[in-house]
Amino acid sequence: MNRIVLHIGSTKTGTSSLQKFLTRYAKQLLEQGVVYPVAGRRAAGQIAHHNLYYEKHGVRVATGVFKPEVGVWKEALKEIDAVSDAVGVISSEAFMNCPSRQIARFQKELDGRHVTVLAYVRRQDLWMQSAWNQQARFGRCSLDFWDFFTKNRARGHGDYVGQLTRWAQAFGWDHLVVQNFDSLPSGGIVPDFFASVLSGVRVAANEHDDFRGNTKAGVKQLVAVSNVLKDCRAQLGATFELPSTAAIRIAQYFRKRPGEVTDYSVLSFNDACEIQRSFEESNDHLSRLSPSFRASGGFRPPSPEEYRNRLDFLKIGDDVLTKEERRFVQRMTREIVRANKKLRVFGHLRRSIVLFLRRGLLVQARAR
């Protein structure tokens, strides 16, 4: 059977950039015996195999997040096996934090194959800030970084040895490659990926291609998202979630605005050192277990230069926005509220019609 490279993340380590590259150059890669299956990402704009993760996740299946038409494991493996002596690459950062029972389901699908599990990890203070920024830009967490950190620390995020041990129990540490994202050369994740697991494969990439993924959200953008979400919830209820399309519109607007600030951190140097001390035992354990991570020298300690521009978002008010920008926020709020109220009216009308028809059918059945 053909070899499989299972790229499991983690998030915020250039995964989107790598997936964009693999998608863009899938044809060139196929000519060299590298298969990046369409199954599992067979939908407009999809570049990763998240659907293969959903397929083995009971809740995702039950709630309809898993879409069989996007592609399943058997189809992906069939694509790979259709090419003689191929290397199949399956990539989704969602794999990283899987519980053991879900990993066992992946292992069953891959039984009998030579599998290399590849994970990129990042120093935890940097990862937590980047993950917070990603969530805050979509309104999925508050601007309180420490609230985000506490919740994610409790879920095991950042405890790489805990996350990766589950994969090692299924596939073995000798089949697990752990790369230190912070120590990658300037070329980033793409050249390291090929050097690590696809040595000898060459792609004639366009030098003008931009594979950057989720760029950092600026101060104004995050304040705007927070304000829109707050005002919408005041009118639509506390459970309202900001649509991704609205968050993207806000990002596009502020990306072009003068005075936007992206060179900042939400931690002080001392905060960063304290976070790293809390993960010190886990990181040392990972160095002992993983030869590839140990070879990288482990994580370098935080430096004061990385934290010279600290901002406390809980102390930043609306005055960071200009009058024009505040009008944009108000306009966005009105549009979202209006659209949601229309949807609710339509929903009520639809339910009323269904109920009316059901009652009519019941009356007819009784009359018979």
Q: Which helix (H) or strand (E) holds 180?
A: strand 176-180
Start-end of H helices in 82-216: 100-109, 124-137, 145-154, 160-171, 189-197
Neighbours of 151 (CB within 10 A): 11
**Cα–Cα distances in Å, from 166 out to 117, 156, 159?**
12, 12, 12
pLDDT at 343: 80
* pLDDT over threshold 70, residue 361: no
* pLDDT over threshold 90, residue 346: no
* pLDDT over threshold 90, residue 42: yes
Of the ranges 40-54, 81-95, 193-207, 285-299, which one carries the lowest mean pLDDT score?
193-207
**Cα–Cα distances in Å, from 94 out to 5, 8, 15, 22, 98?**
15, 7, 10, 17, 8
Do 232 and 35 meet the contact criterion of CB atoms below 8 Å apart?
A: no
Beta-bridge partners for 179: 120
Where residue 344 falls among pLDDT bands split at 50, 70, 90?
A: confident
Taking the C-alpha atoms of residue 139 and residue 333, their distance in angstroms, rounded to an integer, is: 13
Beta-bridge partners for 178: 119
pLDDT at 126: 98
pLDDT at 364: 60
Under CATH, what is the fold of the domain 1-121+184-214? Answer: Rossmann fold (3.40.50)
The residue ranges of every structural domain in the chain are 1-121+184-214, 219-261+322-367
